[in-house]
Amino acid sequence: MKILITGAKGFIGKNLCLGLKNAGDEVFEYDLGSSEEQLKKWVSSCDYIVHLAGINRPLDPKEFLDGNVNFTKKLLDVVKETNSKAPIIFSSSTQASLDNPYGKSKKMAEDEIFAFSKENGTPVYIYRFYNVFGKWCRPNYNSVIATWCFNVAHDIPLQINESAPSIDFVYIDDIVSEILKTLKTGPKPSGQILFAEPHHSETLHAIADALYSFRDSRKNLMVPNLKPGFFKDLYSTYLTYLDDDDFSYPLVSHSDARGSFTEILKTMEFGQISVNIAHPGVTKGNHYHMSKNEKYIVVGGTCEIKLRKVDEDKIVSYVCSGSDPKVVDIPPGFTHCITNIGNGDSITLMWANEQFDPLIPDTYQCQVLLDK
């Protein structure tokens, strides 16, 4: 399909244009700098119009009328002039039900579109979006989440209104998915107020706490709350506000003559992931755990992993290599060791079902190979 997007360079516009292109659609990107001739050409040839252009934080409140109402009228005039039959999707706001200059201008634009639909039979779909957050939203503009993500990423203190109530948010990818669904699966009932779902009601304190946990995860290695929903999307958003030269952060590596051991990630529910590097001929381990269990995955080099149940003589052996990756489970009560039998350094990813606690290490030395 051919889709005209007004406000294509804005926050929602950039994300939607990318989503449409990924879906194989042809996108006409109208924004500041586009000509009236382009607008007429694109309106006359498109299959859908997604009207996102507008103003939400002008220097002068009078600009709301021009940016949100008058441009909408201009767009509708072009639709009528070109005899376009393209349905119109309009980006409004939940503030359209409020008594403020921005909300009033959005409500006026809605009324213009509904009246046009009734007069000309054009299908229209008006979405009142909750507070939108996600990648590419401008900080210090119209989104507290964008501002706070930027501030926390740059060690700027947050200003929290102690009396602020919960705020309703919607994630940008959910908006894109909703619009794509409307475009792809057929029209919804025309002339109704629609909402992009799911939306999330969260307090500013909860958001601030989460953002600080994201920042601190680089030092304590704790993976943040990534359950599907608001905070998973918030973490994805936060990462996009890091500076380009700040995507990398150091880890603490414990090295000795045998190689090194480095913790990578930790979680409250799922333990931790580490990486073990061993020089050729080196054996590590020869211990067992009472409750802790592990998974070993050799991703570089070749290793032999041996296990023996502590009260038995039988030894089980697995040869693993980066060219033939496999997982070896290390159950509790089995003493185990891993030997680099290759010619170069071996690299093994190790998962444990709990974080290492030096006060309760649950690690007991015991040789796998028994003395004869």
Give me the helix-helix angle, 11-22 and 172-184, nearest 10°.
50
Query: Residues near 96 by Cβ (< 8 Å), separated by ≥ 6?
Result: 103, 106, 107, 110, 128
**Secondary-structure breakdown of the chain: helix, strand, coil percentages, each rounded to the nearest 5:** 30, 30, 40
In the numeric block, the tokens 């042809």 are attached to 26
| CA 347, 353, 358, 363 torsion-angle sign | negative
CA atoms within 13 A on the CB side of 315: 13
Measure the CA–CA gap between 239 and 52, rounded to whole angstroms: 25
Q: In this structure, which amino acid lies at residue 346? A: S
Q: Which DSSP helix (H) or strand (E) runs through 310? A: none
| 288 is annotated as an active-site residue | no
Q: Pull the structure tokens for residue 2.
A: 């051919």
Helices (H) and strands (E) counted in the chain, each on its own, are: 9, 20
User: Three-state SS for 67?
Assistant: helix
Cβ count within 10 A of residue 152: 22
Query: Across the chain, which distance is largest between two alpha carbons, in Å?
Result: 96
303 touches 319 (CB < 8 A)? yes
- Using alpha carbons, list the distances in angstroms from residue 264 to 126, 130, 270, 305, 331: 46, 37, 13, 22, 22
Report, in angstroms and rounded to the nearest whole number, the Rg of the chain calculated over CA atoms. 29
Degrees (nearest 5) of the Cα angle 316, 318, 321? 170
Catalytic option among 30, 48, 102, 288: 102
Where residue 115 falls (left for φ over 0; alpha for ψ -120 to 50; beta otherwise) is alpha
What is the distance between the alpha carbons of residues 234 and 238, in angstroms, rounded to a whole number? 6
Query: What is the spatial distance between Cα 179 and Cα 310, in angstroms, rounded to a whole number?
Result: 60
**Looking at the annotation, which residues are catalytic?**
102
